[in-house]
Amino acid sequence: MLNRNLLYIIFIISISIINSNCVSVGIETPQTTKAQNVIFKPPSYFSELVQPYLDAAWKNDANGNTISFLSECDSATDPTHETIRDGIIAGLRNSNILSNDYIPLSKRNALKSVVTGSVDGVKTKLEIVVLKKNNCIYILTYVGLQEKFNDDLDAFAEFLKEFKVP
């Protein structure tokens, strides 16, 4: 449940930043245009996690770690990589950016950040990758409890290696 809540926080904050020029009323979720023709390889030992607000998500049933991505295309705004990342971590209490680097991903530079914080008092660690390409924003996340975070880093690294967008 913790990871599902965090993924929802990531989605809501990310979409609100991406769509900062839009005003919504009530509890409607923002209308988004998802990217097409994204190529990726799901983590082999993770199970699919169906989340309607994400493009795709998977969970390691043994430890609860999750890998996911969401996309938003044709937005009226153009937030920076850092603005998107900061919006995501604003949902964490006591957030701390441990590392912050630009990495090559799908023939662009993507911002990769490792962040710690807590959700509902539970210590959590995230690796967030923000990619902007061809009028689309992609947010790739690896989320886990701090003590289990290192267990699936290789799976996320492989996911990033196989992730390709047009």
> Total structural domains in the chain?
1
Instruction: Quote the tokens at residue 161.
Output: 């290696």
Domain-located, residue 140: yes
Domain-located, residue 28: no
What CATH number does residue 125 fall under? 3.40.1000.10
Rounded distance between C-alpha atoms, residue 4 and residue 90, angstroms: 17
Domain-located, residue 92: yes
Residue type, 92: L
Model confidence over 77-104: pLDDT tens digits?
Answer: 889 999 999 999 998 999 999 999 999 9
Residue 75 structural domain: 2-22+33-162
Domain-located, residue 137: yes
Model confidence over 28-43: pLDDT tens digits?
Answer: 445 668 888 899 999 9
Domain-located, residue 18: yes
Rounded distance between C-alpha atoms, residue 67 and residue 49, angstroms: 9
Averaged pLDDT of the chain: 84
pTM: 0.82
